[in-house]
Chains A and B, each alone.
Chain A
Amino acid sequence: MMELEALQEIDSEVRSLGVRMLIITPELERYTRGVHRKLQLTFDVLTDLHLKTAAQFGLVFTLPDYLRDLYKSFGSTLDRFHDETEYRLPMPARYIIDSRSIIRAADVNADYTIRPEASETVRLLKELASSESVPKLDKKDSE
């Protein structure tokens, strides 16, 4: 939640750079709707049913039994949140993807208490924008 709040703080700046933000989560729509409203987010929160997209990014892991029991005792019933009996989660990750679908920056951490800083994302986007606007002087020669 803190991460989503931090992203909300940079959304208008990100949009001014011509970039859109998306959140991908294994949670069903009945949960994403609540989060979206509560935090008054101006970007979409997408439901990645059964973690299919997270798996394509190589981010999915299964919680060990002992952690599953602990989370259940906290009331985090992932089987209900995700509509599946496996307790699987995506690693926290942030990707910057350019308009040709190439990943330009990736921040992935197995330690879920560490999240990419929103200000760092803005810095990377500005860097990307300036590198893309450099005129390609050699283009004519290579054609």
Chain B
Amino acid sequence: MSKLRDRLEEFKTTFESGDPPYNATPEVVATMHQATAELKASGIENTALRAGDRAPDFTLFNQDHVEVASKDLLRQGPLVVSFFRGHW
């Protein structure tokens, strides 16, 4: 099992090389770097919840349209919650 970091790094190298299948131009790569740098500079990382804060409760639908409530799950034990941008 290779580390996630290595797999992501490999993807990034391929993408930024401009080679197929992505064929990213240097302009595209520069644009994406600029956006990330701007987001970092906005200071948003410092306003996100952090260790020691109380986590908000949430009730959301899962992939099978079943409602999942964090409160119910927390009664059984801790949770690992990962925020994911999407399948694309």
Contacts from A to B (Cβ < 8 Å):
1-4, 6-7, 9, 14, 18-27, 29, 31-37, 44-49, 53-54, 56-59, 61, 63-64, 66-67, 70, 74-76, 78, 81, 89-106, 108-119, 121, 125, 128
Whole-angstrom distance between the alpha carbons of A36 and B28 in the complex? Answer: 30
Which one, A48, A99, A102, A121, contacts B75 given CB within 8 A? A99
| Contact (Cβ within 8 A) B49 A58 | yes
Contacts from B to A (Cβ < 8 Å):
1, 3-5, 7-8, 11-12, 28, 31-32, 35-36, 38-40, 42, 44-45, 47-58, 60-65, 68, 70, 73-88
- Chain A residues in 8 Å Cβ range of B42: 61, 110
Whole-angstrom distance between the alpha carbons of A27 and B83 in the complex? Answer: 11
Q: List 30 interface pairs A-B (beta carbons < 8 Å), by A numbering.
A: A4-B84, A19-B80, A20-B78, A21-B81, A22-B68, A24-B58, A29-B65, A32-B63, A33-B64, A36-B63, A45-B63, A46-B60, A57-B56, A59-B44, A90-B83, A90-B84, A91-B48, A92-B85, A94-B80, A94-B83, A95-B49, A99-B74, A101-B54, A103-B49, A104-B78, A105-B51, A108-B48, A110-B44, A114-B8, A125-B80
